[in-house]
Amino acid sequence: MLVVVSDTHAREESRLQGRTASAVREAELVIHAGDFYREPVLDAFQSAAAGLRAVYGNNDDAAIRDRVPEVRTVEYAGVRFAVTHRHRSGDTGLVMLGRGRDADAVICGHSHRPRFDDSGGLPILNPGSHAQPRGNRPAHAELTPVEGEAGDGLDGRLVTPDGEEFETFRIGGGNAE
């Protein structure tokens, strides 16, 4: 399972609770789309996750910026993701970033609003914020390989720390173009 989180905004710990905490611990790979805030939070995620791939966000301190990139490409179960915290040109810029990295989808953070949008030519996944939802539902994303042949894509869901699934989606398997 791939777990995607973002926008922790903490000083000393991961602020992982409930289903979000167990999902991060159980995941093969965890992507954090930026805004840990302070370096001990990045350390806490590295301790909790078997495999962590992260980018820095606009509120991350210099120590985090020295350790993780602003943009990265991550592959999981045959699906290629362009990962960044935000793009100044909004969804259009995110799609262009993804295309430039030959990605099947883009993962971003910043808005604290969980959403999956595949209407703009390349799917965009924002897991929201598990720790500081700012008026939105607290959330993370969980993605699992589609049963069947390799390269069929990923089934995804947006989930609250209480374990409530509130949106499902698919990336790849002919849906990502």
Q: Note whether 36 and 10 are within 8 A (CB).
A: yes
* Distant-in-sequence, close-in-space partners of 5: CB < 8 Å, separation ≥ 6: 20, 24, 30, 31, 32, 33, 127, 130, 140, 141
The segments of the chain whose pLDDT lies below 50 read: 175-177
Q: Note whether 100 and 122 are within 8 A (CB).
A: no
Report the distance separating Cα 89 and Cα 143, nearest Å. 27
Is the domain spanning 2-171 CATH 2.60.120.650? The answer is: no
Model confidence, pTM: 0.95
pLDDT for 147? 79
- What are the residue boundaries of the structural domains of the chain, listed by start? 2-171
CA 43 to chain centroid: 17
Taking CA atoms, 154 is separated from 25, 65, 149, in Å, by 19, 30, 12
pLDDT for 102? 97
pLDDT for 151? 62
